[in-house]
């Protein structure tokens, strides 16, 4: 008994010594996130999550919206029962799980590259502006990073523990095969759970297929399918069965069709809804470089020049020195299929952010390739390298603190607009036509959204405003219009700007600039043109009729 106790203590001490850095990194990540808790629900998805906690969990009423994010909502519900605040419960779930994600990221980077690369990767993850910002918001994206990184780690372990050496003992070979299949199944379970956080993670299924394809060289295909399929089916079933049973298969399927039609075909951000492919490519580059990676852009913080230079150097040396191997092929499959998802399916900042932890690994590896080639054998090489990495980390940290401070302390434009309307207008004499803000009004000013008298009307185009006004018997004195509505250029003579609300573009999840307009009932009388100007007027009118529809760009 004494010997067994000593052995247990030694194992625990060995574990602590071995993982002292990632454990400390998790603690640092958690503490820094707790210091900058967000205070506002400022966009549509956040309201849906909050109502799913405080009112009723019902995907048929978008509480939250389809597919219900049951895994994220389950953990948030636990904290909601403890904390009593919907926004704090939602944010704490993201803070906690995104902090724990540092550990699997460290382990993955250490196994693919080295311990030093893993340490730098973990630090870059902690100070990344977008990952930090999303952890401070009542959204599921930071929460989901844990399932993404951990599932990828177990898929890699499945590859690592299968031996491709011919001369190996049968006993060890069987052990390695069992470990590989076990890790494949665990990775499948985590990925299945991750799909209950964000459907975006469907882009990781090809990674699982790739691992299974590699394992078939040493393990029978039947066993691979049995273990892998069992894992992902178990992970998905843990939440999917509950949704289907609670909301019935018919209603669940109808909701799925409506959501898919809206999100990916009519009003979503897929390639199908893209009018200008060049603009889509530009937006993806802008969102990835400036928002997700925290690098310099024309409207960004000047200090970002420092990490931009270091990242470019590290990527050049990574591509120059890395050797094509099983490890790099594994990472390449991950990047390839997720990038295809971003290009064709979803290109929002929060979806692109999933790539950041893995890019951090590549950047860290590139830095050490640079160090080995130019600084390792020099007198002050280690000091210069430490200063370079330190400058990279500090510049990122300063920018991140600035951004999360804005998110915590400054009122988002969407919330500021609601406060302005409720403080300066009487709801009985006012009607506000808007897009996403309709849902925010239900959260911050529900008295404006009663069923009998809805003073806030959801509409996407100015045509909807005109159609609704025709139906009203009693026209409101104040007709207010949001800048998010399409087709405003056709009514410039009848729209009078009342107020503008804006905030730093890197410190807000959704619209960083909003304008509130008053819609005049009648257009101002126009001066009659002189006869000599008749031909010029005809030319002007023909030009205006050919004006393209101007859409509001949420990111610029």
Euclidean distance between CA atoms 63 and 315, whole angstroms: 43
Tens digit of each residue's pLDDT (9 = 90 or more) over 418-434: 999 999 999 889 999 99
Between 454 and 290, residue with greater pLDDT: 290
CA quadruple 255, 258, 262, 263: dihedral sign: positive
Q: Across the chain, what does the average pLDDT equal?
A: 86
Which structural domain, as residue segments, surrounds residue 494?
Answer: 413-523+534-545
Which of 360, 381, 408 is the endpoint of a domain? Answer: 408
Which of 362, 382, 408 is the endpoint of a domain? Answer: 408
Residue 207: closest CA among 230, 190, 222, 220: 190
For the chain, what is the domain count? 2
Q: Assess if residue 234 is contained within a domain.
A: no
**Chain centre distance of CA 284:** 13
* pLDDT at position 117 over 80: yes
Between 556 and 9, residue with greater pLDDT: 9
Same domain, 461 and 519: yes
Same domain, 458 and 503: yes
SS3 assignment, position 273: helix
Q: Assess if residue 186 is contained within a domain.
A: no
Per-residue pLDDT at 528 = 55
Same domain, 328 and 471: no
Same domain, 353 and 436: no
Q: What is the value of pTM for the model shown? A: 0.89
Q: How many CB atoms lie within 10 A of CB 205?
A: 14
For the chain, helix, strand, coil in percent to 5 are 70, 5, 25
Q: Assess if residue 128 is contained within a domain.
A: yes
Same domain, 400 and 491: no
Tokens 């092929």 sit on residue: 329
Which of 350, 373, 408 is the endpoint of a domain? Answer: 408
Residue 460: closest CA among 444, 428, 438, 492: 438
Q: Assess if residue 463 is contained within a domain.
A: yes
Same domain, 349 and 443: no
Per-residue pLDDT at 535 = 44
Strands 478-482 and 430-434: parallel
Tens digit of each residue's pLDDT (9 = 90 or more) over 21-36: 999 999 999 999 999 9
Per-residue pLDDT at 545 = 33
Per-residue pLDDT at 40 = 92
| Number of residues that make up the chain | 556
Q: Assess if residue 434 is contained within a domain.
A: yes
**Beta bridge pairs of residue 499:** 516
Same domain, 350 and 389: yes
Same domain, 466 and 350: no
Same domain, 434 and 491: yes
Q: Assess if residue 190 is contained within a domain.
A: no
Tens digit of each residue's pLDDT (9 = 90 or more) over 347-375: 889 999 999 999 999 999 999 999 999 88
For residues 210-216, give the mean pLDDT.
Answer: 92
Q: Assess if residue 24 is contained within a domain.
A: yes
Q: Assess if residue 103 is contained within a domain.
A: yes
- Give, as one character, the DSSP assignment of residue 270: S
Euclidean distance between CA atoms 234 and 172, whole angstroms: 29
Per-residue pLDDT at 554 = 36
pLDDT-wise least confident of 105-114, 133-142, 331-340, 540-549: 540-549
Same domain, 120 and 258: yes
With 0-12 / 13-18 / 19 or more C-beta atoms within 10 angstroms meaning exposed / middle / buried, residue 483 is: buried
Same domain, 384 and 432: no
User: What phi, psi does 478 have (nearest 5°)?
Assistant: -115, 115
pLDDT band at residue 479, thresholds of 50, 70 and 90?
very high
Same domain, 386 and 456: no
* pLDDT at position 510 over 90: no
């Amino acid at each position: 008994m004494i010997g067994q106790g000593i052995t247990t203590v030694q194992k625990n001490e060995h574990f602590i010594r071995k993982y002292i850095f990632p454990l400390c990194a998790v603690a640092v990540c958690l503490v820094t996130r707790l210091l900058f808790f967000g205070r506002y629900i400022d966009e549509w998805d956040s309201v849906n999550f909050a109502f799913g906690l405080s009112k009723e969990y019902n995907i048929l009423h978008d509480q939250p919206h389809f597919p219900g994010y049951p895994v994220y909502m389950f953990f948030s519900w636990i904290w909601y029962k403890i904390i009593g605040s919907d926004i704090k419960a939602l944010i704490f779930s993201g803070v906690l799980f995104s902090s724990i994600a540092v550990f699997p990221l460290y382990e993955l980077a250490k196994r693919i590259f080295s311990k030093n690369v893993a340490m730098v990767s973990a630090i870059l993850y902690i100070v990344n502006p977008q990952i930090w910002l999303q952890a401070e918001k009542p959204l599921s994206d930071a929460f989901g990073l844990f399932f993404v990184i951990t599932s990828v780690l177990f898929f890699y372990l499945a590859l690592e523990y299968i031996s491709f050496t011919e001369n190996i003992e049968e006993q060890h070979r069987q052990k390695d095969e069992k470990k590989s299949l076990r890790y494949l199944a665990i990775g499948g379970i985590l990925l299945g759970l991750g799909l209950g956080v964000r459907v975006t993670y469907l882009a990781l299924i090809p990674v699982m297929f790739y691992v299974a394809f590699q394992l078939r060289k040493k393990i029978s295909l039947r066993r691979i399918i049995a273990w892998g399929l069992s894992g992902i089916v178990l992970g998905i079933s843990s939440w999917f069965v509950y949704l289907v049973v609670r909301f019935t298969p018919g209603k669940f399927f109808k909701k799925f069709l409506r959501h898919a039609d809206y999100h990916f075909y009519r009003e979503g951000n897929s390639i199908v809804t893209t009018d200008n492919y060049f603009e889509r490519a530009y937006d993806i580059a802008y969102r990835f470089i400036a928002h997700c990676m925290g690098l310099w852009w024309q409207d960004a913080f000047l200090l970002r020049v420092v990490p931009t230079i270091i990242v470019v150097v590290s990527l050049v040396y990574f591509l120059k020195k890395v050797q094509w191997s099983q490890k790099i092929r594994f990472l390449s499959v991950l990047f390839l299929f997720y990038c295809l998802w971003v290009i064709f399916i979803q290109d929002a900042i929060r979806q692109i952010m999933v790539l950041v932890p893995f890019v951090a690994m590549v950047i860290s590896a590139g830095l050490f390739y640079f160090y080995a080639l130019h600084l390792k054998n020099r007198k002050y090489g280690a000091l210069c390298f430490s200063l370079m990495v330190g400058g990279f980390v500090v510049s990122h940290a300063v920018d991140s603190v600035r951004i999360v401070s804005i998110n915590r302390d400054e009122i988002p434009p969407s919330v500021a607009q609601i406060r302005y309307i409720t403080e300066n207008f009487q709801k009985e004499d006012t009607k506000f036509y808007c897009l996403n803000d309709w849902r925010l009004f239900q959260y911050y000013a529900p008295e404006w959204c009663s069923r009998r008298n809805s003073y806030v009307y959801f509409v996407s185009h100015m045509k909807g405003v005109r159609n609704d006004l025709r139906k009203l018997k009693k026209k409101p004195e104040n007709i207010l219009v949001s800048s998010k509505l399409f087709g405003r250029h056709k009514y410039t003579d009848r729209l009078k700007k009342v107020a503008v609300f804006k905030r730093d573009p890197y410190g807000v999840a959704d619209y960083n600039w909003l304008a509130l307009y008053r819609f005049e009932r009648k257009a101002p009388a126009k001066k009659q043109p002189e006869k000599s100007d008749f031909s010029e007027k005809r030319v002007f009118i023909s030009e205006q009729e050919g004006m393209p529809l101007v859409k509001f760009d949420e990111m610029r």
